[in-house]
Structure 1
Amino acid sequence: MRPRVVCGIAAAVALFATACGSGGGGGNASVTAQAAPAGGYPVKVADCAGKETVIAKSPARIVTSNAAGLEMLLRLGAGDRVIGTGFPPGKGTLPADLADQGAKVPVLGDKTIPKEKLLGSGADLYVDTFGAMPVMGGGATGPSEEEFAAAGIQHVYLLSTACAGTPKAAKAPRTDLAGIEDDLRRLGAVTGTAARAEELVSGMEQRIGEVRTALAGVPEDKRPGYFVFDFDAGTKQPVAVCGRQVANAVITLAGARNVFADCDADFKTGSWEDVVARNPDWIQLSVRNRGTEEATRKAFDDAEAFLRSFPATKDLKAVQEGHFVRLGSEVTTIAGVRNADAVRQIAAAVHPDLVKNGQ
């Protein structure tokens, strides 16, 4: 991905997590954590290349690269062990029940955590969303594995986002949330909260299963075309959500058809001519939370007003019919538990006769 694209997307989602790191399809053999038979330690976890790290005991001092890992740890009940984060959650980014605790986590870097600060943080575990992505602080600019080891920090990844571009990354479009569920299980095993991880995964699967059952009678050729308009990435050139992005799975599970599912990437800068050619039935107005309900509503209003007035988009089918879905970037393009809620919200919008409640 070209740096300009990364910067555009970062404006929309980097304070929560780097959406640009999304990996391939739903499954990857290396995401499974191998715990001891009794559910204790040691725990073995693998990176994107399959190299294993052995976690001998429950970590006591955890640093997260951004708020994606932070939210997972908060949900797992391990938030009291997080001693720092990079890309801290902005106001309104975390759900209300986690916001106060998340706000208390020390910020080690407004964006990427500086190498020296990370190595000197006193952490015994680093949860990394980025992996080998130099433009977002991974790979070439981050600590080497030897430096992590010398500092006494074990290094684990959210593989659902860190493995894009690696040889083992799946190339097919992502159509399920198995990778996110596996990340929750891996973190649960690593932090000794495996039972809670299974509760979270079961909750996701239940919500998704209800939607799947409701939409069982909808044939593939009746799925409406769906375009995610990343308003925060800019309006000069639209940034398309491609097949390998987690949002493609969210859209698919919601009974819609991502009109850019065929591009083999996570995101891709395109043109308004591309969007017009695919003439989506529905357009998601995707903005980041602005911190207050009023400010966020205005951002949605501004995104809709642009599409209604811009010459290239004002005659699109979705615009003419007012088929807009107001749904934030944080729950759509960022890997997390709330992806399951986004599935239901989109399904309720595009199939209102079948899915009655999007909340």
Structure 2
Amino acid sequence: MRSRVWGGTAAVVLGGLLAAGCGGGGKDTADEGAEKAGSGDYPVSVTDCMGAKTTFSGPSKKIVTSNAASLELLLRLGAGDRIIGTGFPPGEGTLPGALDAEARKVKVLSKNVIPKEKLLGSGADLYIDTFASMNMGGGMGDAPTEEEFKATGIKHIYLKSTACAAQRKGPVTDLSAVENDITSLGAVTGTSARAKKLVAGMKEKVNAVQKAVGGTPEGKRPTYFFFDYDAGTQQPTVVCGRQVANAVITLGGARNVFAGCDADYKQVGWEDVIAKNPDWIQLGVRDRGGEAANEKAFDAAEKWLRSNAATKGLKAVEEGHFLRIGSERTTIAGVRNADTVEEIAKTLYPGKVGPS
């Protein structure tokens, strides 16, 4: 098991997960029955990465989220009053606007993985798991079994855009899996109308970018390196083809220099980065909870690249081609992925992508 923490959000991905419904080319299919809930019709069913169905006879009313990713999606769906607890809460100031104030009202069941006993005794009717895999003899810490979830009346579903990533067939190049997660959450919370608006907004932004830069031939697209500064500088951790960041970078009109590694994340050597010699580098720091603190972190990441003997000669470093875009909105599945697509395109193709 590998654990990664981003500004209060942990990502745990276990190998060997069969990504049914999370197939090649980055395409995903909407869960059965989820779309008909747009008019409030039930029952609806959603599936996990193994294809197993969870059926809802009505909207969930007491929800626990595993971390900040699913918490943010529920808040955007207008289902904040249904959230009775969360693990890995977002840091203060890390969510935009009014969402941050709403997030502060949610009971924190754990600053890390929610203990098994506390989760099962939470009184929830739904637990949304952002990152843990299923049916692998384990999970995030001492996770409850599916039988234990059922015994306590808790339905257990996953954000498939992340949970299925490790075994996705081929690179992810679009945001369909993220959009389907939003649609599914809308169905199980009775907020499908809002879900449709969120997805439509994402599509509008991405489609505008594609119209402006999507026709750029592959060979003429700038090469791009996501520098995960907070993951450590001794040995870089890169985003590979199966990670949602690959779709964000691709849709933004760039070429992820590590898109070819057959994983979601991978540790490489700096010699590998040097060999790629990217045109642009994203300073992917995690949100510190405020603009001043974030700028300080971006400054530190840039300073490291400029002063390190192994990286100061990179083309992007010498030309000052840095993007100051936080990690969460790039690597964590959510509505802000579309905003990042737009920001990347505006930076790499000045004048071609219009205002929002």
Q: 1:182 to 1:33 in 2, by over 3 A?
A: farther
CA deviation after TM superposition for structure 1 residue 206, in Å = 0.1
CA distance in 1, matches of 2:241, 2:266: 10
Contact 1:93/1:330 (8 A) holds in 2: no
Equivalent residue number for residue 231 of structure 2: 233
Q: 1:45 to 1:316 in 2, by over 3 A?
A: same
Q: 1:263 to 1:216 in 2, by over 3 A?
A: closer
Q: Is structure 2 residue 264 aligned with structure 1 residue 271? A: no
Contact 1:204/1:340 (8 A) holds in 2: yes
CA deviation after TM superposition for structure 1 residue 140, in Å = 7.1
| Amino acid paired to 2:192 | A
Match of 1:177 among 175, 178, 182: 175
Equivalent residue number for residue 130 of structure 1: 131
3-state DSSP class of the match of 2:9? coil
Q: 1:74 to 1:321 in 2, by over 3 A?
A: same
Equivalent residue number for residue 306 of structure 1: 304
Gaps spanning 5+ residues in structure 2: where?
Answer: none
Contact 2:64/2:83 (8 A) holds in 1: yes
CA deviation after TM superposition for structure 1 residue 272, in Å = 0.4
Equivalent residue number for residue 50 of structure 1: 51
CA deviation after TM superposition for structure 1 residue 28, in Å = 3.0
**Cα deviation 1:135-163 (Å, max 9, x = unaligned):** 9x826731111100111101111111112
3-state DSSP class of the match of 1:18? strand
3-state DSSP class of the match of 1:117? helix
Matches of residues 193-342 of structure 1 in structure 2 within 5 Å?
193-342=191-340
CA deviation after TM superposition for structure 1 residue 27, in Å = 2.2
Greater alpha carbon shift after TM alignment, 84-93 vs 348-357: 348-357
| Amino acid paired to 1:27 | K
Gaps spanning 5+ residues in structure 1: where?
Answer: none
Contact 1:92/1:99 (8 A) holds in 2: yes
Contact 1:63/1:83 (8 A) holds in 2: yes
Equivalent residue number for residue 351 of structure 1: 349
CA distance in 2, matches of 1:317, 1:170: 32
CA distance in 2, matches of 1:110, 1:208: 34
CA distance in 2, matches of 1:231, 1:15: 16
CA deviation after TM superposition for structure 1 residue 329, in Å = 0.6
**Cα deviation 1:195-239 (Å, max 9, x = unaligned):** 110000000000001100111442111100000000100110011
3-state DSSP class of the match of 1:260? coil
Equivalent residue number for residue 85 of structure 2: 84
Q: 1:219 to 1:35 in 2, by over 3 A?
A: closer
Q: 1:95 to 1:134 in 2, by over 3 A?
A: farther
| Amino acid paired to 1:198 | K
Q: 1:109 to 1:295 in 2, by over 3 A?
A: same
CA distance in 2, matches of 1:238, 1:210: 33
Contact 1:132/1:140 (8 A) holds in 2: no
3-state DSSP class of the match of 1:138? coil
Number of aligned residues: 347
CA distance in 2, matches of 1:177, 1:158: 13
Equivalent residue number for residue 70 of structure 1: 71
Contact 1:17/1:334 (8 A) holds in 2: no
CA distance in 2, matches of 1:73, 1:55: 17
Equivalent residue number for residue 27 of structure 1: 27
| Amino acid paired to 2:112 | K
CA distance in 2, matches of 1:344, 1:19: 28
CA distance in 2, matches of 1:110, 1:354: 43
| Amino acid paired to 1:353 | G
What is the TM-score with the length of structure 2 in the denominator?
0.92
**Cα deviation 1:70-121 (Å, max 9, x = unaligned):** 1110011111110000010012221112000111100011111000000000
Contact 1:226/1:258 (8 A) holds in 2: yes
Equivalent residue number for residue 153 of structure 1: 154
Equivalent residue number for residue 9 of structure 2: 16
When the two chains are superposed, the root-mean-square deviation of aligned CA atoms in Å is 2.1
CA distance in 1, matches of 2:295, 2:74: 29
Contact 2:285/2:325 (8 A) holds in 1: yes
Equivalent residue number for residue 100 of structure 1: 101
Contact 1:28/1:170 (8 A) holds in 2: no
Contact 2:62/2:84 (8 A) holds in 1: yes
3-state DSSP class of the match of 2:109? strand
Q: 1:275 to 1:33 in 2, by over 3 A?
A: farther
CA deviation after TM superposition for structure 1 residue 289, in Å = 1.0
Greater alpha carbon shift after TM alignment, 84-93 vs 198-207: 84-93
CA distance in 2, matches of 1:17, 1:29: 26
Equivalent residue number for residue 116 of structure 2: 115
CA distance in 1, matches of 2:237, 2:73: 27
CA deviation after TM superposition for structure 1 residue 15, in Å = 1.2
| Amino acid paired to 1:28 | D
Equivalent residue number for residue 40 of structure 1: 41
CA deviation after TM superposition for structure 1 residue 36, in Å = 5.0
Contact 2:94/2:290 (8 A) holds in 1: no
3-state DSSP class of the match of 1:237? coil
